[in-house]
Amino acid sequence: MSRVVFSTRDLTKHYQVGGGLFSPPQVVRAVDGVTLDIYERETFALVGESGCGKTTLGRVMLRLHEPTSGQVIYRDQDLTTLNDKAMRGLRNKLQIIFQDPYASLNPRMRIEEILAEPLRTHGYGSPEEIRERCAELLDMVGLRRQFLRNYPHQFSGGQRQRIGIARALANKPDFVVCDESVSALDVSIRAQVLNLLSDLQQELKLTYFFITHDLGVVRQFADRVGVMFLGQIVEVGPAEDIFKRPLHPYTMLLLSAVPVADPHQRGRERPIMKGDIPSPMNLPTGCRFHTRCPFATELCAKQEPQPREIDGRTVSCHFPLAA
Amino acid sequence: MAQHNETVLSVSDLRTEFHGGRGHIRAVDGVSFDVGRGRIVGIVGESGSGKSMTALSIMGLVPKPAGKVTAQSIMLDGTELTSLGADGLRRVRGRDMAMVFQEPMTSLNPVRKVWEQVGEPLAIHKGMNSRQIRARVLEMFELVGIPEPKARLDAYPHELSGGLRQRAMIAMGLICEPKLLIADEPTTALDVTTQAQILRLMLELRDRVGTSIIMITHDLGIIAEMCDEVNVMYAGQIVEQGNVFDLFDRPSHPYTRGLLASIPKTTEKRTDGRMPSIPGMVPNLERLPPGCRFNPRCGDVMAICHEAEPPLGEVGGGHLARCWLHSRKADGPAPAAGAVL
Amino acid sequence: MTVTASSPEVIAEPSLLREGIAAFARNRVALVGLAFIVVLVVVALFIPWISHHDPYRVALDEQFLPPSLTYWLGTDNFGRDVLTRILYGARISLLVGTLPSLISLVIGAALGILSGYVGGKTDAIIMRLADMMIAFPSLLLAMVVMYTLGANLLNIFIALALVGWASVARVVRSETLALKGKEFIEAARANGTSRLTTMVKHIFPNVIPTLIVLFSLSIPDAIMWESSLSFLGVGVQPPEASWGLLVAKGKEYLLQAPIVAIAPGIAILLTVLAFNFIGDGLRDALDPSMKD
């Protein structure tokens, strides 16, 4: 039984938006009470659509944005209680790989400098040791050592993403947040980079928190999945279980909406969600999903469902789909 | 040979070239395909494949003088587009053929009301007045399923969600009842649930109104759900062309096969935990490899692939593939023994 | 390692500087401007060896001579060679054009980056200060400084630097804000890089192209400022020659010998134009190749 390496307890992040001289600011509850456990060496995928808060959650978990309330626990240490200095000291263990290969590398720095920076910040060693480590990192991600001298704009999107991965791995982290790390890549390159991430996970014993909207990637790579909607997790559980038998109506609609690359399956029954996702500034009463849910009842409009354990999963729904 | 009125668009040998500061790029290099009445034809490819440029070339939207578009023929329902000047094309654009773009955020002018923009083609091509335009836009909003359409007429783009904006864009595209609608990655910027709604809408519209659609995308899932015929593009050329069922059941070009294999599927999990991928990268259009453009990445590469570019060869029944596995040179070699067809 | 990214050879990396220079060199107009300035600087530096005329010698019997082989542009009211005066004046005008710009650039960049990156109260204070500087009529400000501190070259530098830093700060702050949102800055934070290091090593190098362009475009401004101040009598003092002063003095004799005022005016015109061409060329050269 794996141990829990990272967890959040009732984590929230609220933003104040707008508000002028005569009107109060509105509150956006981007992350609203998220409790999760992530096990050592697993790939935990967080899925959801725009406005669900998954990107914010990733940032808040690493304290790149400060949480409004709640706890973030890494190996029994509550990160929210640490001061800046202590937090910075931990940053070599907690890393993030970004989505946009074009914006995630400083265009005016050579690759060697980009890779050396985290090493220097955490006192890796002498300049020679640092240089050798940079070359090692490029080896690890399948790029030639001479690329250390080049600038980011000379590389393709896929190569830049590999450099971003190398940078994240510089100080041997054990927990890595992948924020839509392959979404901006072409399909054929995506598979290459995913394979790389998978291999690295084995070699370096990494735990991945994989934020994505691509359910195909989730099915192939994730061990467990969390489905997020308007700031809350509505279903969590083993990936295969969730794909075969989603319990939350939103999960079911999400899965049925994905186009299938097989024309013979065209005629299949698939419910399609009506209307638009409500704005995070204007949350519905009761269960947040009830305005879009084909199975909603009066209860759903009045009362927020609490997370329950069903069949080894956690679901927040008054009427989870047939168990 | 399809009858004249059965084919809405017939593109023959379309070529689009760019002369940049540093080199010469053939973004679209000899593309030919037909779109039948009421059919949905897909063009699928990755970045640099030329799929968007093909659409822009047909619409006459390629920036000049940087780009030069030539074709043997582009026939839109009986009208030869290549013989029209800029003015002629402008009359056709929006009225007989329309385009829907990827980014609903930026395709709509943020400082104009939605009804004004969606109705603009009517003002340009049919000379209607404001009252008539509003009425027609309202009809279109109902057609594309915008809830509370009357209220939405006077909305500004930022007041609408991404999905609604894209519906508005589709309304604008269809408002003059064009024979052909070109949709360039219309759902890429949308959430998957919104995407499902929009795709279903497009199918409904095709059934009700009979518009032919060219669907440009990188997503083979969308192709499978929507299209009747498919063109797979790579480095400016069509490398496989055919009926959607033929393409998915018997993918014949190694690129198509590689692409299909490398899509992470939601329907089942691979047991080996790895994704098959196509090695290498899309070629630089300024420095194409000799022979077949795909040869550096091809698992079935043969000697002839480095020497000569393959023509589009018949796989069977109208299914074509640009690959030496499927064509013989007049006195050239047969496909390699054991080649998978 | 199992997965390799087979790639076409990455082209031998020209440094960013070389790419920028190459792009600039393709712009003919900018090159013309550059040539003009280079020639001007060289001539201004070596003028004592080029011209045998003494810019301060007074010879009233040679007043207002028309252009001739000895005096290419004729003489002024004191019998001094106009061309020599202009070329000596070039030294001052160019000096005044570049140094204060440099100072306001340094101050403006530092405050702009600080303001944009740190945000909050720091940002509010710096920006209000900048607003005040910009709102205050600059000519008046410069004149006040000159009156208070005395009209000499050093004080001109101070006055112009004071006037110039605010708009630099505003532009740099905008760029900083745009850069702040980019993921490589977040990456630096995720790595534990301190704020100061981030500002110096990440933000500043990406702001340099803008600074270069701002610099070249502010030089003509500064030259015009100096000319105006000297024209108004609070800048360079006679018998020193600066272009502004030459125009000021020359205007009194506009009807007798128009060339005495017009020639330095044309010198200002050409120099300002040349710097503008260079600035535009730099902006074009640096922007597209640097942006992805």
Query: What is the structure's pLDDT at A84?
Result: 87
Residue of A nearest to B280 (CA): A189
Q: Is the pLDDT of residue C6 over 70?
A: no
Q: C232: closest CA among C155, C148, C157, C146?
A: C146
Tokens linked to A188: 């054929």
C 18-57 residues inside an 8 A Cβ radius of B: 26
- Of B1, B31, B11, the closest CA to residue B75 belongs to B11
**Chain A residues touching B46 at Cβ < 8 A:** 186-188
Name the closest residue on chain A to residue C202, using Cα atoms.
Answer: A106
Q: Do C6 and B279 touch (CB under 8 A)?
A: yes
Torsion of CA A283, A286, A288, A293, to 10 degrees: -130
Q: pTM, whole model, 2 decimals?
A: 0.83
**Cα–Cα distance for residue pair C71/C17, rounded to 1 Å:** 44
B281 touches chain A (CB under 8 A): yes
- Our CA-based measurement puts residue A87 at a distance from the nearest CA of chain C, in whole angstroms, of 8
Q: Which residues of C touch B283 (CB under 8 A)?
A: 8
Could you tell me the domains of chain C?
26-45+73-290 (1.10.3720.10)
Distance from CA of A83 to the nearest CA of B (A): 38
What does each of the 341 residues of chain B score in pLDDT, given as a tens digit? 444 468 999 999 999 998 866 678 889 999 999 999 999 999 999 988 999 999 999 998 888 777 888 888 999 988 899 888 888 888 888 888 999 988 777 788 888 899 998 998 888 888 889 999 999 999 999 988 888 889 889 999 888 888 888 999 999 999 988 999 999 999 988 889 889 999 999 999 899 889 999 999 999 999 999 999 999 999 999 999 999 999 999 999 999 999 998 888 888 888 777 888 888 888 888 888 899 999 999 988 888 899 989 999 898 888 999 999 888 654 445 444 444 43
Residue C131 has pLDDT above 50, yes or no: yes
Q: How many Å apart are CA C176 and CA C116, to the nearest integer?
A: 5
Per-residue confidence at A1, pLDDT binned at 50, 70, 90? low
> Comparing A191-195, C149-153, C168-172, which segment has the lowest mean pLDDT?
C149-153
Q: What per-residue confidence (pLDDT) applies to C125?
A: 94
Is the model's pLDDT at C51 over the cut of 90? Answer: no
How many residues belong to chain A? Answer: 323
Interface residue B104 vs chain A (CB under 8 A): no
pLDDT at residue C3 greater than cutoff 50: no
Q: B195 to chain A: which residues are within 8 Å by CB? A: 257, 259
Regarding predicted confidence, which is higher, C29 or C256?
Answer: C29
Nearest CB to B224 within list A187, A198, A261: A261
Q: Quick one: tokens of C260?
A: 């005495």
**Chains in touch with C (≥3 Cβ pairs < 8 A):** A, B
The answer to whether residue B219 neighbours chain A at the CB level (below 8 Å) is yes
Taking the CA of residue C282 and the nearest CA in chain B, the distance in Å comes to 17
- Chain C residues in contact with B284 by the CB 8 A cut-off are 8
Among A233, A194, B175, A68, CA closest to A59: A68
> How is residue C144 written in tokens?
């006040």
| Distances, alpha carbon B274 to alpha carbons A14, A221, B139, C105, in Å | 38, 8, 50, 54
- Record: contact C187-A192, CB cut-off 8 A: no
In this complex, the residue of B192, B259, B264 whose CB is nearest that of residue A254 is B192
CB contacts under 8 A, C 85-124 vs B, are none
Res C47: pLDDT? 81
Task: Identify whether the C-beta of residue C272 lies closer than 8 Å to the C-beta of residue C217.
Answer: no
Per-residue pLDDT, averaged over A58-82, amounts to 93
pLDDT at B330 (0 to 100): 45
DSSP letter string over A236-302? Answer: EEEHHHHHHS--SHHHHHHHHHS--S-GGGTT-------S-PPPTTSPPSSSTTGGG-TT--HHHHH
* Alpha helix (H) residue ranges in chain C: 16-25, 28-50, 82-118, 120-135, 138-149, 153-180, 183-190, 195-198, 204-231, 243-251, 259-290
Q: Is B87 exposed, middle or buried (0-12, 13-18, 19+ CB in 10 A)?
A: exposed
Average pLDDT over residues C93-111: 88
Instruction: Say whether B281 and C8 touch across the interface (CB within 8 A).
Output: yes
Rounded CA gap, C55 and A190, in Å? 73
Neighbours of chain A (3+ CB pairs under 8 A): B, C
Task: State the ipTM, two decimals.
Answer: 0.86
The per-residue b/e assignment along B130-140, b for 16 or more CB within 10 angstroms, e otherwise, is eeebbebbbeb
pLDDT score recorded for residue C2: 34
Q: Does B62 touch chain A (CB under 8 A)?
A: no
CA distance, residue B284 to nearest chain C CA (Å): 9
What integer best gives the mean pLDDT of chain A? 90
Kindly report, residue by residue over C8-26, the tens digit of the pLDDT: 455 555 677 777 788 788 8
Query: Can you spell out the DSSP letters for C16-61?
Result: HHHHHHHHHHT-HHHHHHHHHHHHHHHHHHHHHHH----TT---GG
Q: Please indicate if any CB of chain A lies within 8 Å of the CB of B195.
A: yes
Contacts of B280 in chain C (CB under 8 A): 6-7
CB within 8 Å: A95 and C190: yes
Greater confidence (C1 vs C166) lies with: C166
SS3 of B14, please?
Answer: strand
Report the pLDDT averaged over residues A3-7: 93
Q: What is the pLDDT averaged over residues A162-186? A: 93
Residues of B in contact with A256 (CB under 8 A): 196
| Domains, in order of start, for chain A | 4-93+174-186+199-315 (3.40.50.300), 103-170 (no CATH)
Residue A216: which of B195, B259, B264 has the nearest Cβ? B264
Closest residue to B264, CB basis, from A50, A156, A214: A214
Please give, rounded to a whole number of angstroms, the shortest distance from the CA of B147 to a CA of chain A. Answer: 8
Q: Identify the closest residue of chain A to B189 by CA–CA distance.
A: A50
Cβ–Cβ gap B269/A220 under 8 Å: yes
Count CB atoms within 10 A of the CB of residue A15: 16
Contacts of B273 (CB under 8 A, 6+ apart): A198, A220, A221
Q: Count other Cβ atoms within 10 Å, centred on residue B83.
A: 9
Share of chain A above pLDDT 90, in %: 64
Burial of C61 (0-12, 13-18, 19+ CB in 10 A): exposed
The region, left, alpha or beta by phi > 0 then psi within -120 to 50, assigned to residue B233 is beta
Q: Tally A–B CB contacts below 8 A.
A: 139
**Contacting residues of A for B273, CB less than 8 Å apart:** 198, 220-221
